[in-house]
Structure 1
Amino acid sequence: MTKKREYKDDYPNKTLYLPGPTEVREDVIEAMAEPMFGHRMDRMTDLYTTIVEDTKEFLGTDDDVIILTASGTEFWEATTLNLVDENMLVATSGAFSERQANVADRLGKTVDRIEYEWGTAVKPEDIRDALENGDRDYDAVGVVMNETSTGVRNPVEEIGDLMGDYPDTYFVVDAISCLGGDYVDVEEHNIDCIFTSTQKAFAMPPGLAVCTVSDAAYERELDKDSASWYGGFQRCLDYYDRKGQTHSTPAIPIMLAYRKQMKHMLEEGHEARDQRHREMAEYARDWAREHFGLFAEEGYESQTVTCVENTQGIDVAATVEEVSEEYDMVFSSGYGDLSEESFRIGHMGEHTVESVKELTDAIEDVAGL
């Protein structure tokens, strides 16, 4: 039985290099301290319409955008309930893609998996083969764009391009650990829904989930007998069209933070933000190759999370702890069974090559590299 551990006021501040949450600007944190107001006031309409329309501008899409008080997990459930009658195809190559498939299983859908060894990327030709030669007609295909557990970046653009040949099958992309730090043209590549969480590459506090919805996906839900109540496309988007607000009480302080950070993101620009993340990823990969190895398949490495293969056999848990204690920097051990076989560096949000180098210097010192 877990016992209460009293929250204190004297914790040291740690710089976060996790696969999320990540560092948040001070003015974004301060934005949460505005006086409270009602979620049915005009002020809320001003706030919510601002963050929705700014998000569409940043992503460069005319698709609808839903921002809900939730983690990105909400849209695993919502997209499945809204788009899938019976059959779903999910490519699994790590912990989070497997979890996406498990959610659909628990919702009573028939889920076929294309299974890959962890560290291996999804191959578009395998998706096409399953759609062409499988025993079922699929309502939707689910793919994780950035597999947080392995540092693999899957080729969702190529998969989306082939999905144009299957207009009755909807394409759902989990981009939780990369959207905002890894550019993707949503409409160009036939993505019906792509979703994320604010605490990752958006560099905002945790607590909000963001999802784009194509016209076809919206119409698909209208034809279904059942859909998600909380994350239903019609429920969310029709309420937005009528009121410019959310249908249920939102986390207003986090939306205030969202408003502030999205202005910063628009000022930087999506392509420039993508380039900065690309430079951080290249530095992290070069460092990993020099001292260790890379867990991800060559050519499919993540732009926001580098999973370093522990070829030197260092004590990963002890290194993570010592770097935290000595340098007040926090990175992550490997995920699950990979906890000692690898470790992960999150280079997302507001980090730069210079700040990532501070972490790798600390790891070198502690590990005696």
Structure 2
Amino acid sequence: MTEKREYRDDYRDKTLYLPGPTQVRDDVIEAMAEPMFGHRMDRMTDLYTTIVEDTKEFLGTDNDVIVLTASGTEFWEATTLNLVDEKMLVPTCGSFSERQANVAERLGKEVDRIEYEWGEAVDPADVRDALDAEEYDAVGLVMNETSTGVRNPVEEIGDLVADYPDTYFVVDAISCLGGDYVDVEAHDIDAIFTSTQKAFAMPPGLAVCVVSDAAYERELDKDSASWYGGFQRCLDYYDRKGQTHSTPAIPIMLAYRKQMKHMLEEGHAARDRRHREMAAYTREWARDHFDVFPDEEHASRTVTCVENTQGIDVAGTIETIDEEYDMVFSNGYGSTLSEKTFRIGHMGEHDVESIRALTDAIEDVADL
């Protein structure tokens, strides 16, 4: 039985190089300290319409945007309930894509998997073969497989799913959207979602979903859908009131407003370019000292999974760097990869210089 561990006031600040949560600007944190106000006041309408419309501008989309108090997991459930009647296709190549399939099954949907070894990317040709052989309500894809550092070819898969007009394309971009550019409408993505604590570099607590007109209309035709994350419920309330249908985490939305202004000032193209530069540096460093776990062609732009070819003590290295450098990065995901790999999150507000500070520390501690 878990025992209480009292939260203290003397923790040292750590620089986060995790696959999320990641670093948050001081002024973004400070924005959460405004006096509280009611979620049905005009002030809330000003706040919520600002963050929704700014998000659409940043992502370069005319599609609808929903911002809910939740983690990205909410939209695994909501998109499945809103778009899938019976059958869903989910390619799996790591822990989170497997979890997406499991969520759909727990919701009573029939799920066909296209299974890949961890570290491999989804092959679009396999998706097309599956769609030619069976009819599916939706294809679910994890764009950035956080457990293995794989970026799946979302653009190619979106283009081919568009050839099957009765099948909707749902993309989990939780650990990459905002740092890895994707043209949502050009590649016919019906629903794409993320969490604020990843590449958006905001505090945890909000989930963001971009919804196509076709996906909205699809839900209208269904007899049942998600209540909390229902497209109609969320978007119709926004159209009428400019607010959320349920009480939101107002302080985190205030932080969202501040950070999204920073993101707009940088611009999506520049933000994407900075993330590519960080990814290139981290992969080059990994090849010099270890290896990169996935193949280079499909390596993530926000999380590098490093293959521990030198057999260093991953857990011990992480602990020492935490204690001596006040930096935190992540071991490999799950029991299979925990010591065979480690992961560096290069997303949000980091740059090459800040990533170099971590890799220098790893070199010192691991005696590379």
TM-score exceeds 0.5:
yes
1:161 equivalent in alignment to 2:159? yes
1:356 equivalent in alignment to 2:345? no
Task: State, as a whole percentage, how many aligned pairs show the same letter.
Answer: 84
Corresponding residue of 2:341? 342
Corresponding residue of 1:70? 70
Give structure 1 stretches of 5+ with no counterpart.
Answer: none
Length, aligned pairs only? 367
Corresponding residue of 2:111? 111
Q: Which amino acid is the alignment partner of residue 316 of structure 2?
A: A
Give the C-alpha shift of residue 284 in structure 1. Answer: 0.1
Q: Residue 32 of structure 1 aligns to a residue in which SS?
A: helix
Give structure 2 stretches of 5+ with no counterpart.
Answer: none
Give the C-alpha shift of residue 297 in structure 1. Answer: 1.9
Q: Deviations over 1:237-271 (max 9, x none)?
A: 00000000000000000000000000000000000
Q: Which amino acid is the alignment partner of residue 289 of structure 1?
A: R
> Which of residues 217, 221, 227 is equivalent to 1:223?
221
Q: Which amino acid is the alignment partner of residue 139 of structure 1?
A: D
Q: Which amino acid is the alignment partner of residue 10 of structure 2?
A: D
What is the distance in 2 between the residues matched to 1:192 and 1:167?
A: 11
Corresponding residue of 1:82? 82
What is the distance in 2 between the residues matched to 1:100 and 1:64?
A: 23
Q: Deviations over 1:55-93 (max 9, x none)?
A: 000000000000000000000000000000000000100
Give the C-alpha shift of residue 164 in structure 1. Answer: 1.4
Give the C-alpha shift of residue 163 in structure 1. Answer: 1.2
Corresponding residue of 1:291? 289
1:212-361 residue pairs with structure 2 within 5 A? 212-336=210-334, 337-361=336-360
Corresponding residue of 2:50? 50
Q: Which amino acid is the alignment partner of residue 159 of structure 1?
A: I
Q: Which amino acid is the alignment partner of residue 240 of structure 2?
A: R
1:140-179 residue pairs with structure 2 within 5 A? 140-179=138-177
Give the C-alpha shift of residue 94 in structure 1. Answer: 0.2
1:199 equivalent in alignment to 2:206? no
Q: Which amino acid is the alignment partner of residue 107 of structure 2?
A: L
Aligned CA-pair RMSD: 0.4
Q: TM-score, normalised by structure 2?
A: 0.99
Corresponding residue of 1:35? 35
Q: Residue 209 of structure 1 aligns to a residue in which SS?
A: strand
Corresponding residue of 1:130? 130
What is the distance in 1 between the residues matched to 2:35 and 2:303?
A: 36
Structure 1 runs of 4+ off > 2 angstroms?
A: none
What is the distance in 2 between the residues matched to 1:239 and 1:296?
A: 43
What is the distance in 1 between the residues matched to 2:116 and 2:54?
A: 37
Give the C-alpha shift of residue 298 in structure 1. Answer: 2.6
Q: Residue 299 of structure 1 aligns to a residue in which SS?
A: helix
What is the distance in 1 between the residues matched to 2:128 and 2:73?
A: 26
What is the distance in 2 between the residues matched to 1:9 and 1:170?
A: 48
Q: Deviations over 1:164-198 (max 9, x none)?
A: 10111000000000000000000000100000000
Q: Which amino acid is the alignment partner of residue 295 of structure 1?
A: F
What is the distance in 2 between the residues matched to 1:298 and 1:12?
A: 36
